[in-house]
Structure 1
Amino acid sequence: MFSRPLVPALCSTIIGILIGHNILTNINLPVFLFPLVILLCLGIIFIIPLKFPLFYLMAVFMLLGINTQINRPVLSGLPKVIHKNEKVVIEGTIYRPPKIRFNMASAPIHTEKIFFSEKVSKVKINLLVKLYGYNGGLKVGERIRFPAKLKEFENFNNPGNFDYRFYMLSQGLSFMAVVSDGRYVVPMGEGDLGLVGKTLEKVRGPLRRFFKERLSHTSNPIYAALILGERQGLTSKLREPFDRSGVGHIMAVSGLHLGLVAWLFFKSLRWLLSLSYRLTLMTEIRKFAAIITTLPVIAYALLTGLQLSTQRASVMVLVFLWSFIIGREKDVWSSLSLAALIILALKGDALFSTSFQLSFVAVAGILWLVPLIIQRIPKFKIGNESFKGSQILHPILTYTLGLIAVTTAAMIITIPLIAYYFHRFSIVAFPANLTVVPIIGLWVIPLGLLSSITLPLSSTLAGFLLSLGEFGLDMAISVVHFWSNIPWSSIWIIRPTLLEILLLYGLLFLSLNFNRSRIYRLFLILILIVFFIDIGYWVYKVRLNNNLRVTILDAGRGNVSLIQFPGKKRMLIASNAFGYGGFNLARMVVAPYLWHEKIRRVDYIFLTDPQVQQTEKLRFMISNFHPREVFSSFSTERMVGRVKIKGSNTEGITITYRGWSFLFYNKKVQIEKESPEGGKEWPKYLIATEEKMLRSSSFHILNIDQTGALTITIDSDGNLKMKGFLKKNLNVVITD
């Protein structure tokens, strides 16, 4: 640890970010307080001689992590306008191409002015404009003015759901501006992208048009994503085969792309420079090649628009290149820690982003596991004498073995995180990555970059290079379709908890170090015990449940409730959730909650609208949760696990258990208990999913927008407990 101080410094920074994010979130401290404390600690370290300065440096980095989480003020006036749902007029400049779906478009803009009812405010924030009735015409760099309603980004507040609000804020977008009619958008001429943005758009604009003219309908959006970092044209239909085969990550520019570009240029430059005998004597070829390689890496990052994932990847690649230049290439863990420190110092919230976690965990896994994997293949070691003398077989063997080792290491180390964030595992990911990544990284991207470089010189040459690249891309797409069309190539899986992820990584580490020390073996036994206790807990909760549990999900305009009967049977009640068009609630809301609860089967699905039985959303639910029945009415009263069920799609559905009745009807759920004459008066609850439904005097009213997913539990004695996802203090307990 003392020989690599950057590693504990990174750990301290991460601890500081977690403290600031989870503990000091609601504490308003002066912005200058933590920087002042950091400077004071640095002064103590360097002025006063200390016996253990590393621990004081760790304290400084912890304060640095806390400092990244200090709340910054929000533009005054906007929250009031949002809550009143008032219209304002907004003026700003489009800085990325619009994403178009049917007659709706969305595009981010640099907002410059907001016209309120009585004043005009000059602002500098980014908004996401959602435009209905779009008829084309929006261009990057154009200033527009339009009337809109400002809205905050909102999540579906259910356990296990994607944090959409955090994702949009991490992209630098503060609010959403909704425009009801595209005819109200007024072009105002050329906008202000800044010096860097304007210069980049002069390069990216012609390339965007060039790709659109020369490439097919399928190749254009993929090439735009790989070269320009613009993923707006990637539809779900286009992405699905890549996701099924486990190579969806190649569609977003990341460390893989920049790393392959750096590796290709570094190898090529080192070979070219080695041809000069004079240069070989005058300088160290490897360092000189690494210095020159930084230029194409920076150029590629700029060409992709310097989006957040690209910024992180470029920092990582440049740090590793400079480790070659200063002669510290063997200290890979310090290089990785330095790259992470730079990124977290610039933006502490990056720690919570999926791309940051996957990128750094994958690289850490490669650095850790690749040497172990190569050591365990003695017959094919790179130094094997039977191949070492061959100028053809040895490089091929080296590349193949390295690719297999890197792919294996990256897959093993990222499986828990992929399961946590995406609930999906591709069985064919290993062979798919081995066959697709080399084509994309060593053929498609280099030819695309060469085409971009030669376009200002010769459009004919650029078109020829691009056509060669498209040929390789078509080949890669064919390979992707081959792997994705294999039955069961991809499976949806339950979501591990954070504890289970830590246990899995602990099992991996201790298993690989089983023979090193007795303490490792003891910890391995301890982790196995905790792991089996965790499995037992979930088996008891999911399959040996003795209570009735009703969970009303936050599903926006839809209404979805999960009934978990005593025992292991379950029923899903859905209204306006699995119909045609609109947001995919089945895949993005309902399924993630079920996987979070370790539920892989739903026995019954009750639909209030029988016409939705042929939709893709419902087919997704049926194929992944295997219900015994899908129906919209009960011909007779049923009993499931001592619970009575009756109703239809017109009258609603009623379930009764231990005197309590639940009526699911018309975007609301009524909960009440039968009271004998002259007996105790029991409280009654009305749970609504829309504001206009909140009108009742005899019911205690709860709004799903305020509580989040609401779980009501009734035990075998008839006692009721109620718990909200957002309101943790909503501890309603009713007992006899």
Structure 2
Amino acid sequence: MIGAIQKVGNTLFYEVAAQGGRGRGLVLFLFAMIGGIVGAQGGAAKLVGLLLVLPLLGLMGGHFKSWRHGLILLLGLGVGFFNMQWRGNPAPLSVPSQWQQGVVVEGLLAQRSQRGLANRLQLTELVVEGEALPGEAWITLYHQTTSVTPGTRLRLHAKLRTTQGLRVPGGFDYGLWLRRQGVVMTGHSSHPVVALADGGGYAWNRFRWQVSQWIATTLPGATGAVAQALLVGMRDAMALPLQEQWQVAGLYHLVAISGLHVGLVAAGLFQLWRWLLSRRLRWVARWDLKPWAALLSLPGVLAYGFLAGWGVSTQRAVVMAVVLLLALGSGRWPQSWRALQWAALLLLLWQPWDLFGAGFQLSFLCVVVLLGVFSPAAPELAGVMQRAWSPPEPQSSNRWHRLLKGGLESAKASLLLGLVTGPLVAGVFHRVALYGVGLNLLVIPWVGFLVVPVGLLAVVLYPLVPPLAGWLLQLTGWLLWPVQELVSWVNTLPGAWWRVAGQGDDLLWAYVLVVGLAFMQRAYRGPLLLLALLLASWPQSATPPTTLEVTVLEVGQAQAVVVRDRANGWSVLDAGGVVSSHYHVGEHLLSGYLWDRGVQHLQRVVVSHAQRDHMAGAARLLRNFAVEELWLPLRPADEKPRGDLQHLVQVAQQRGVLVRYLSQGFEQRAGELLWRIGHPDPQNLERDANEGCLVVELVAQGQRLLFPGDIEKRGEAALQRSGWLHGVDWLMAPHHGSRTSSSEPFVRASAAKQVVFSVGVANQWGFPKAEVLERWRQSGARIWRTDHSGSLRFCVDKQGVHQQNWQENPLQGCP
């Protein structure tokens, strides 16, 4: 068995090394460094580390003849592990409470972007209350317009907070992501911005911002937003609905500046310099002009990286282009595989956490697949460079034949990339782009060889010949318009909005690694691809729990609860949170959590009342999942429903969801779990949304759990009169702990053993109020707060309601 593994390792290592010429040390160091990074991150380390060690086993099992190999191995593991440990988990900066109420901030504007009606200002060289601070602050400017550009030193009054993201099991840690970018504080302001002086620097960011504003003015609407993303990497210009349109069409990768864009720039600059140099006949006769053209192209490629904003895909493409141009400029044979290895090495040394990002994984996986098919690995080390630059095969003189061959190769590449990246896209983004492969065949040539070249030429000419640049930008808009129309039309087709649950991080990691190894060599490609297919189709475990599971998600100053019963049925009780031009709580937090748990079907979505902090994400849940029922509170017959409630009901009707308007006395049993409604009264005349909201009780395993929504004193008194309040084991604090709720009679009558407050960190209302907290403490209840603990998970059995520490295994759930 060990011998067989070593044989596989021998083949994998030497064929991977062959792709980089004689770079065995580089390959060994890169693999070892990746293993160190994964080991430092934890989680999927065991499974991925086992697979990563296969190439190393081959080296050590018969070809580990030099102490240098062992040193390289240990060095790579150490660099990866300690780099990730040292730089990958920065601690949040403590922000004084008075700064959260508002403080004067000075800083140098490094970059700015437009996000809907708001502006995001990225400030460095911070001074707060006379205290100089390291790092950056990202401040969102509301209800104010400002003409300041990057490089300007400014002052404004802002409310600051620490970089603490929402703590959701298995969710994206936005706070950690910010800290890894060097951001120490975030904040918001609605006060005027005062420009102090030109601080110098950030010339590229200033030019980038000016170009983006020029594009937005010249090309308004969706076409202009897409053009900003395509040409200067300003994807903030694309609001969430527009981003989702391109994701549904399977074309969103085009607006992430990557190899297509950078390759066009590098190739165009190379050919331009070569043509200019060839004008001097003496130079042509005396020197090979390709190295000079390659070296002269380098500044332009790097400048484009700055202009594009240095996203992950841009970093990878620029590094690869620079390595190839340097190799050609130094007279060495350029090799794509070696360039890819150097790109991965440099990027992971710089930002090791990118290894766990979907952008990094997709970018490198696509390049590995393409190189594996169109630039296959050599089976031996000798002669690699000669084959790479051997004379090309004779080409047909028939132009149509060459076009047909190129079209077939493009179709092959598009189909292959669609099939290979499909499972990863589905697992990470929970989306299947049903029409993506066909659309890519049509759109990639159009965008790559028409839209991008014309648009980039307009950007280059913008500061030099503005009238000509404006005409070219208009032409770019005309070329981009049919693409946007096609994208919009595809979104209306059946099956376009296809959402799926994830496979889990461990399986996705293993899939990426196995596919990458399959295309890095030939000998074991078939078995490895079969293994990848097995991993992609492996069903996610859905073992029914033995207890009732209740998870109170941290959604800021709002409320959202997910309930899983013993029959593995899932329900959502309130779906509140933030909805903005670029973020939707129903999509990014609630749906993401449910998909990560393998959920495709919801038995019921309960909305206690029609306010955004309890229903903002409900409509998106109805769209993303197969929902059986929508529960809403019974309202007075003559009351006109609010617009957002009307929209929710329309979505439910379109999706075939049963809508129930409920009042006191309604009961529904799901196995051993009993759902009961205690409020509002069947003759409800309450026009206040808070006082008339649904009060839901869950009874399971002899335990009573009460969800009073936002009822206040009148609603609490009504519950007492009905005799409902007695012996509550667990309770969500009414109205987030406001002064108008949790009255003394309510607290005394409920006698709750545990009380949970769903509140935002440093929220503007100061919830929960101190007197409310004291009232519950005096009653003997145990207090839980989402602003202190993040999301909270509770397991309900016959012994009581037990809080579970989900951090140890975020997606495991109750036993």
CA contact (8 A) 1:711 1:723 kept: yes
The 1:398/1:267 distance shift into structure 2, 3 A limit, reads farther
Q: Which runs of 5+ in 2 are unaligned?
A: 1-12, 44-64, 378-391, 633-661, 681-692, 712-724, 732-750, 760-766
CA contact (8 A) 1:369 1:409 kept: no
Does 1:641 find its partner at 2:710? Answer: no
The 1:482/1:289 distance shift into structure 2, 3 A limit, reads farther
Letter in 1 for 2:754: Y
Deviation (angstroms), 1:733 = 11
Cα deviation digits, residues 496-549 of structure 1 (max 9, x gap): 2122224545775798899957x986x8999899889x63x624x2xx455422
Match of 1:187 among 176, 195, 214: 195
Does 1:659 find its partner at 2:702? Answer: yes
The residue aligned with 2:787 is 705
The residue aligned with 2:618 is 618
Match of 2:36 among 6, 11, 16: 16
Supply the distance in 1 between the matched residues of 2:78 and 2:364 (Cα, whole angstroms): 22
Deviation (angstroms), 1:269 = 6.2
Letter in 1 for 2:786: I
Deviation (angstroms), 1:127 = 0.8
Deviation (angstroms), 1:306 = 4.5
Letter in 2 for 1:672: D
The 1:595/1:207 distance shift into structure 2, 3 A limit, reads closer
Match of 1:113 among 118, 121, 127: 127
Supply the distance in 1 between the matched residues of 2:121 and 2:752 (Cα, whole angstroms): 48
The residue aligned with 2:637 is none
Match of 1:97 among 99, 102, 112: 112
CA contact (8 A) 2:164 2:176 kept: no
Deviation (angstroms), 1:421 = 2.9
Matched residue SS, 2:235:
coil
The 1:497/1:671 distance shift into structure 2, 3 A limit, reads farther
The 1:98/1:527 distance shift into structure 2, 3 A limit, reads closer
Does 1:162 find its partner at 2:172? Answer: yes
The 1:389/1:711 distance shift into structure 2, 3 A limit, reads same
The 1:620/1:369 distance shift into structure 2, 3 A limit, reads farther
The 1:329/1:409 distance shift into structure 2, 3 A limit, reads farther
Given the two structures, how large is their TM-score scaled by the length of structure 2? 0.72
Letter in 2 for 1:254: S
Match of 1:296 among 296, 300, 303: 300
Equivalent residues in 2 for 1:522-671 (5 A)? 535=539, 538-539=541-542, 541=543, 544-574=544-574, 576-577=576-577, 584-610=584-610, 617-632=617-632, 633-634=662-663, 635-647=665-677, 648=679, 650=693, 652-666=695-709
Deviation (angstroms), 1:631 = 1.3
Deviation (angstroms), 1:82 = 5.2
Matched residue SS, 1:93:
strand
Equivalent residues in 2 for 1:121-136 (5 A)? 121-136=131-146
Deviation (angstroms), 1:472 = 1.3
Task: Supply the RMSD in Å over aligned alpha carbons.
Answer: 4.3
Matched residue SS, 1:294:
helix
Match of 2:481 among 454, 474, 488: 474
Deviation (angstroms), 1:486 = 2.1
The residue aligned with 2:341 is 337
Matched residue SS, 2:460:
helix
Letter in 1 for 2:669: M
Equivalent residues in 2 for 1:383-398 (5 A)? 388-398=395-405
Equivalent residues in 2 for 1:228-247 (5 A)? 228-247=232-251
The 1:494/1:399 distance shift into structure 2, 3 A limit, reads same
Match of 1:6 among 26, 29, 47: 26
Matched residue SS, 1:320:
helix
Deviation (angstroms), 1:437 = 2.0
Cα deviation digits, residues 223-244 of structure 1 (max 9, x gap): 2222332233222233232111
The residue aligned with 1:404 is 411
The residue aligned with 1:724 is 805
CA contact (8 A) 1:370 1:409 kept: no
Matched residue SS, 1:158:
coil
Match of 1:178 among 179, 188, 192: 188
Supply the distance in 2 between the matched residues of 1:566 and 1:99 (Cα, whole angstroms): 47
Deviation (angstroms), 1:660 = 0.7
The residue aligned with 1:687 is 756
Letter in 2 for 1:708: G
Letter in 1 for 2:28: P
The residue aligned with 1:258 is 262
The 1:253/1:513 distance shift into structure 2, 3 A limit, reads closer
CA contact (8 A) 2:258 2:313 kept: yes
Cα deviation digits, residues 146-183 of structure 1 (max 9, x gap): 2223212232222232221233234332211332x324
The 1:131/1:727 distance shift into structure 2, 3 A limit, reads farther
Supply the distance in 1 between the matched residues of 2:367 and 2:184 (Cα, whole angstroms): 31
Deviation (angstroms), 1:9 = 1.0
Question: Comparing 240-249 with 410-419, which one deviates more in the overlay?
Answer: 410-419
Deviation (angstroms), 1:641 = 1.0
Q: How many matched pairs?
A: 671
The 1:704/1:452 distance shift into structure 2, 3 A limit, reads closer
Letter in 2 for 1:685: Q
Given the two structures, how large is their TM-score scaled by the length of structure 1? 0.79
Letter in 2 for 1:221: A
The residue aligned with 1:678 is none
The residue aligned with 2:57 is none
Matched residue SS, 1:627:
strand
The residue aligned with 1:79 is 94
Letter in 2 for 1:139: T
The 1:206/1:577 distance shift into structure 2, 3 A limit, reads closer
The 1:569/1:294 distance shift into structure 2, 3 A limit, reads same
The residue aligned with 1:28 is none
Supply the distance in 2 between the matched residues of 1:652 and 1:672 (Cα, whole angstroms): 15
Cα deviation digits, residues 389-430 of structure 1 (max 9, x gap): 234124313432332233234333333432333222211111
Matched residue SS, 2:618:
helix
Letter in 1 for 2:164: E
Deviation (angstroms), 1:630 = 0.8
Supply the distance in 1 between the matched residues of 2:520 and 2:342 (Cα, whole angstroms): 26
CA contact (8 A) 2:152 2:200 kept: no
Q: Which runs of 5+ in 1 are unaligned?
A: 24-49, 374-384, 675-681
Supply the distance in 2 between the matched residues of 1:612 and 1:6 (Cα, whole angstroms): 54
Deviation (angstroms), 1:14 = 1.8
The 1:322/1:397 distance shift into structure 2, 3 A limit, reads farther
The 1:490/1:274 distance shift into structure 2, 3 A limit, reads farther
Supply the distance in 2 between the matched residues of 1:612 and 1:86 (Cα, whole angstroms): 24
Deviation (angstroms), 1:604 = 1.0
The 1:323/1:301 distance shift into structure 2, 3 A limit, reads same
CA contact (8 A) 2:607 2:615 kept: no
The 1:419/1:209 distance shift into structure 2, 3 A limit, reads closer
The residue aligned with 2:155 is 145
Supply the distance in 2 between the matched residues of 1:706 and 1:725 (Cα, whole angstroms): 15
Supply the distance in 1 between the matched residues of 2:509 and 2:42 (Cα, whole angstroms): 19
Matched residue SS, 2:139:
strand
The 1:404/1:708 distance shift into structure 2, 3 A limit, reads same
Supply the distance in 2 between the matched residues of 1:451 and 1:732 (Cα, whole angstroms): 54
Matched residue SS, 2:696:
strand
The residue aligned with 1:421 is 428
Supply the distance in 2 between the matched residues of 1:145 and 1:513 (Cα, whole angstroms): 53
Supply the distance in 1 between the matched residues of 2:311 and 2:569 (Cα, whole angstroms): 46
The 1:726/1:702 distance shift into structure 2, 3 A limit, reads farther
Letter in 2 for 1:659: G
Supply the distance in 2 between the matched residues of 1:303 and 1:528 (Cα, whole angstroms): 39
Supply the distance in 2 between the matched residues of 1:276 and 1:487 (Cα, whole angstroms): 60
Cα deviation digits, residues 555-594 of structure 1 (max 9, x gap): 2222111222232433211064599999622112110011
Question: Comparing 419-428 with 691-700, which one deviates more in the overlay?
Answer: 691-700
Deviation (angstroms), 1:137 = 3.8
Deviation (angstroms), 1:307 = 5.5
Supply the distance in 2 between the matched residues of 1:405 and 1:149 (Cα, whole angstroms): 53
CA contact (8 A) 2:586 2:616 kept: no
The 1:83/1:270 distance shift into structure 2, 3 A limit, reads same
